[in-house]
Each structure stands twice: as C-alpha cells, then as structure tokens.
Amino acid sequence: MPAEQEEEDSTIHIVTVDSTNLRFSPSTVTLVEGDSVRFFWSGQALPHNAVEANGFFDSGEPVRDLDYTVLFEIGSNGTYDFVCEPHEAFGMIGQLIVEPAPLPEPPTNETNNSQTNMSDDEMMPSISLVSTLTTVMAASLIMYQRRLEN
C-alpha cells in the first residue's frame, strides 16, 4: 500500500493524564495495525511516563510535559500493558489492544463486472443492432442474387 494511503487510513489515538485520579485517560485503547498512540500531557504537577511491560515502547524518564508517539506497524497486533513508573502502585496503568489490519480488498475487473452485471434492457440494443444488420445483409444478398438471375 502506498505511504499516502497508509497515512489516510491510519488513526492517532491520544492518551493523556487524569492527574486528579492518577490515571491514564483513556486507560484502555483499541486500535488497528497502522495506527499510532500519542502520549501527550502538559503542565502536570507530578512527572509521568509511559513504559510498556515488555519494552515495546518507553517514553523515557517521568516528565511534566510529554509528547511521545508510538506507531503500531503491520504485524504488531497484540495486547500491550503499560504503566507510569512512579505511579504504578497507585493504579496508573493502561492497556493497548492492537487488532490486525483488515485485508486489502481484491482488485476488481471493471470490464468483466460491467458485462456480467448488465441487465436485459442494457443488452437489448446490441442484440437489436446485430439482428438489424443480419436482416439488412440477407436482404442485400437476396436482391443481388435476383439481379444476377435477370
């Protein structure tokens, strides 16, 4: 798939911080391969980070202002659990569920489809044309033979 098409079909999901409850917001995100997750917060009283349990992503040291994006490429489907390291004990955890990208639609053969999907009314003009030409040719042949006989 061309890069331009991938960008048009992809979505950026934003995860922020609910600092009142020390939670990610939203704490669970379902996305599709090719989508991105953007961890974004600014002006927080406490520093935060987002670290995936198996090391798939790590936003770095906890900070009060963060703009960090993770792209989930084709083949990265699965479940990703992540935490804010300094606030994990307070329940600041999250989960990303990455579903497989849909299979591309098979190319259609427009020529075959247009012929296959023709209604009887659409086919009638071509049958009429063939019949008319056949009749005209037969009449011409008969007239030619009569002239030769005379």
Q: Which residues pair with 34 in a beta bridge?
A: none
| Tens-place pLDDT, residues 83-134 | 999 999 999 999 999 999 988 888 876 655 555 565 666 555 566 767 777 7
**What is the pTM assigned to this prediction?**
0.66
Residue ranges of domains in the chain:
3-99, 119-149
Closest CA to 24 of 5, 2, 3, 52: 52
B/e letters for 113-125, b = 16+ CB within 10 Å, e = fewer, are eeeeeeeeeeeee
Distance CA 32, CA 46 (A): 31
**Topology given in CATH for the domain delimited by 3-99:** Immunoglobulin-like (2.60.40)
Model pLDDT for residues 13-23, shown as the tens digit of each residue: 999 999 899 99
> What is the 8-class DSSP label of residue 55?
S
Contact in structure between 85 and 49 (CB atoms under 8 Å):
yes
Other beta carbons within 10 Å of 44: 15
